[in-house]
A and B are shown apart, each in its own frame.
Chain A
Amino acid sequence: MIKKRYILNFPPQSGDKAFTYHLVKEYDIRINILKAEVYPGKRGSLLLELHGKKENIEKGVEYIKSHKITCESLDKRIRWKEEKCIDCGNCTAVCFAGALNMNKKSWELEFDKSKCVVCELCIPACPLNLFEIDFR
């Protein structure tokens, strides 16, 4: 069993399919909806955590993609310009999900992208503007 987060982007005409039902029913995937933005007739974006057998999740992702919905692993949508980071800690102040933490020994910033819930608070909190998240 694995747990992995994905960002799904829906084109305007795709809101009519109950695809979560199929993911649960046919692929035995547990779904946690962490963030959703739906603009009917325009677009929709979802952050999902999929929990299930690795091969089932792979099949489920293929199923989603076959319906013209983009489905990409969350870490591919997050950029942190680590080489420019000064380890000030400002981003850790706002990261209630616990994805951004200071290492208590080295005092270096550690970013565990798998814990990110795309609240996007780190983007303006970083005084060097080093975060980019492509959710929409």
Chain B
Amino acid sequence: MKTVADFESLYFRLRASPSDLKNMSTTKSYEEINQKLKAGKAVVLTAEEVAEMAKEMSPEEIVEKVDVVTTATFGAMCSSGAIINFGHADPPIRMEKIRLNGVPCYEGLAAVDSYIGATACDPDNPEYGGAHVIQDLLEGKDVLLEAWAKGTDCYPRKHIKTKININTVNEFTLFNPRNAYQNYNVAVNTTSTIKHTYMGTLLPNLRNATYSTSGELSPLLNDPEFKTIGLGTRIFLGGTQGFVVWPGTQFHTTKPKNELGVPVTNAATIAVMGNLKEMSPEYIQAASYEKYGVSMFVGIGIPIPVLNADIAKRVSINNSQIETSVLDYGTVGTPKLGQVTYEELQSGTIKVKGKKIRTAPVASLKKARKIADELKKWLQNGEFEVTKPVQMFPSNTALNGLKETEVDND
């Protein structure tokens, strides 16, 4: 007599297509891939190369041929900054107000720990900010440290003014709470006045459109459901090895997606960390935007291990399959005006509301490619391993806005 389980098994066998069966057979573990990397036998391609390859090969063929795919981005990432430990002076001071080259740093971390945010600045000198301090330190320049305190029994000093540099500080750690946005919107301006934004200068009456993601090379667009990227993922960060340390702030996994499961607007993000003392000014660059403020370009590269056909399919995605939303940055509420592909964006013109608009990137694809190639070399030389995440990131996350409630004005 046949049981229900027998029928179920028969049903699934009938339902499984040949590619599903093959799919099940071709899986690789992180350990296998790392052994291949160590032996110099792994096949590593950039996401652009694999997108090209996928025009003629199925995901099942790709998972057999390719072991790791490198992805990269080099864009302005405002939610970035550095943890610095200055070391103790003699007599010591419990720093309660701190300035580095005049830029305010966080003073609420013990006596001589601080965090300098990339976008921090002295309002009187808005074009030089935290990102510039980080860059100056990275380039080996001296930076003026001034700090004030009330003076305590154990930390008697009330003021210090001295020079520091990358070699005098103890720790100099990049810690970026929100980087590498999974997709980003295209910015346009329908108004009759020029708008100065973090997406660059937007000319009036839809005369230009700016976009920021590296498209098919962009890290989180190649692993849209976070199947391989998670807590502890080893990455390329600023020219050295860094780590994904948490979901980024505003981690949003339920934004609208296209039929391939790729978000069509800015969605998830990652928090990253790495040793600035090992980083290179080539991949960390301070920036100042007219009438907006300071930001910092950060170079990030993420290797994606091709563990199975599903991941192979994800990394095969090309610019014609990645869409993003065109938003009017000139109007409050940034209404959506349309949706375009990265293929269209990179062609130089898009069509919005029947009007042809010239496009311009605001993040460097050239640098992103350089990072993807550099990471590829590290992997091929056996200097870099792929990491199985310690913990996967949550799904089904959404965001709160800031609701304003009535406050007593006592």
- Asked if B288 and A94 make an inter-chain contact with CB atoms under 8 angstroms apart, the answer reads no
**Can you add 10 more A-B contacts, CB < 8 Å, to A88-B75, A93-B203?**
A86-B367, A87-B365, A89-B363, A93-B200, A93-B362, A104-B346, A106-B366, A124-B290, A125-B200, A128-B286
B92: Cβ under 8 A from any A Cβ: no
Also in contact, A107 and B365, with CB within 8 A (given A127-B288, A128-B285): yes
The A contact surface, by secondary structure, is loop
Question: Which residues in B have their C-beta under 8 angstroms from that of A128?
Answer: 285-288
A39: Cβ under 8 A from any B Cβ: no
Q: 0/1 per residue, A103-136, Cβ < 8 Å to B?
A: 0101110000000000001001101110000000
Q: Which of B203, B348, B361 touches A88 (beta carbons < 8 Å)? A: B361
Also in contact, A94 and B366, with CB within 8 A (given A86-B297, A127-B288): no
Q: How many A-B residue pairs have CB under 8 A?
A: 74
Also in contact, A90 and B201, with CB within 8 A (given A102-B360, A129-B288): yes
B74: Cβ under 8 A from any A Cβ: yes
Question: Which residues in A have their C-beta under 8 angstroms from that of B203?
Answer: 93-94, 96
Q: 0/1 per residue, A22-62, Cβ < 8 Å to B?
A: 00000000000000000000000000000000000000000
B76: Cβ under 8 A from any A Cβ: yes
- Asked if A125 and B285 make an inter-chain contact with CB atoms under 8 angstroms apart, the answer reads no
Q: How far is the CA of A127 from the CA of B288 in the complex (A)?
A: 5
The distance from the CB of B196 to the nearest CB of chain A, in whole angstroms, is 8
Also in contact, A93 and B208, with CB within 8 A (given A88-B363, A128-B285): yes
Q: Which of B200, B286, B366 touches A90 (beta carbons < 8 Å)? A: B200
- Asked if B364 and A89 make an inter-chain contact with CB atoms under 8 angstroms apart, the answer reads yes
The distance from the CB of B216 to the nearest CB of chain A, in whole angstroms, is 13
A92: Cβ under 8 A from any B Cβ: yes
Chain B CB within 10 Å, residue with most, of A102, A104, A129: A102
- Asked if B201 and A102 make an inter-chain contact with CB atoms under 8 angstroms apart, the answer reads no
Q: How far is the CA of A127 from the CA of B287 in the complex (A)?
A: 5
Q: How far is the CA of A129 from the CA of B287 in the complex (A)?
A: 8
Q: How far is the CA of A107 from the CA of B196 in the complex (A)?
A: 24
Which 3 pairs of residues, A with B, have the shortest CB-CB distance? A127-B287, A93-B360, A89-B361
Chain A residues with a Cβ closer than 8 Å to the other chain, count: 20
- Asked if B364 and A107 make an inter-chain contact with CB atoms under 8 angstroms apart, the answer reads yes
B295: Cβ under 8 A from any A Cβ: yes
16 contacting pairs across A/B (C-beta < 8 A): A86-B297, A86-B364, A88-B287, A88-B362, A89-B360, A89-B361, A89-B364, A90-B201, A94-B208, A107-B361, A107-B365, A121-B201, A124-B201, A125-B290, A127-B287, A127-B289
Also in contact, A127 and B295, with CB within 8 A (given A87-B366, A89-B361, A89-B364): yes
Chain B residues with a Cβ closer than 8 Å to the other chain, count: 32
Also in contact, A89 and B362, with CB within 8 A (given A94-B208, A121-B201, A127-B287): yes
The distance from the CB of B49 to the nearest CB of chain A, in whole angstroms, is 15
Specify the chain B residue showing the minimal Cβ separation from A121: B201
- Asked if A88 and B297 make an inter-chain contact with CB atoms under 8 angstroms apart, the answer reads yes
Question: Which residues in A have their C-beta under 8 angstroms from that of B365?
Answer: 87, 107
Question: Which residues in A have their C-beta under 8 angstroms from that of B295?
Answer: 127
- Asked if B285 and A86 make an inter-chain contact with CB atoms under 8 angstroms apart, the answer reads yes
The distance from the CB of A12 to the nearest CB of chain B, in whole angstroms, is 32
- Asked if B360 and A107 make an inter-chain contact with CB atoms under 8 angstroms apart, the answer reads no
The distance from the CB of B373 to the nearest CB of chain A, in whole angstroms, is 13
Q: Which of A86, A96, A102 touches B207 (beta carbons < 8 Å)? A: A96
Q: How far is the CA of A129 from the CA of B295 in the complex (A)?
A: 13
Question: Which residues in B have their C-beta under 8 angstroms from that of A87?
Answer: 364-367
Q: How far is the CA of A27 from the CA of B408 in the complex (A)?
A: 79
Question: Which residues in B have their C-beta under 8 angstroms from that of A106?
Answer: 366
B210: Cβ under 8 A from any A Cβ: yes
Also in contact, A107 and B366, with CB within 8 A (given A96-B207, A127-B289, A128-B285): yes
B157: Cβ under 8 A from any A Cβ: no
B369: Cβ under 8 A from any A Cβ: yes
- Asked if A90 and B285 make an inter-chain contact with CB atoms under 8 angstroms apart, the answer reads no
- Asked if B364 and A94 make an inter-chain contact with CB atoms under 8 angstroms apart, the answer reads no
Q: How far is the CA of A128 from the CA of B287 in the complex (A)?
A: 5
Q: How far is the CA of A102 from the CA of B364 in the complex (A)?
A: 10
Question: Which residues in A have their C-beta under 8 angstroms from that of B288?
Answer: 127-129
Q: 0/1 per residue, B276-296, Cβ < 8 Å to A?
A: 000000000111111000010
Question: Which residues in A have their C-beta under 8 angstroms from that of B74?
Answer: 86
Question: Which residues in B have their C-beta under 8 angstroms from that of A93?
Answer: 200-203, 208, 210, 360, 362
The distance from the CB of B322 to the nearest CB of chain A, in whole angstroms, is 17
Question: Which residues in B have their C-beta under 8 angstroms from that of A90?
Answer: 200-201, 210, 360, 362
Question: Which residues in B have their C-beta under 8 angstroms from that of A125?
Answer: 200-201, 290
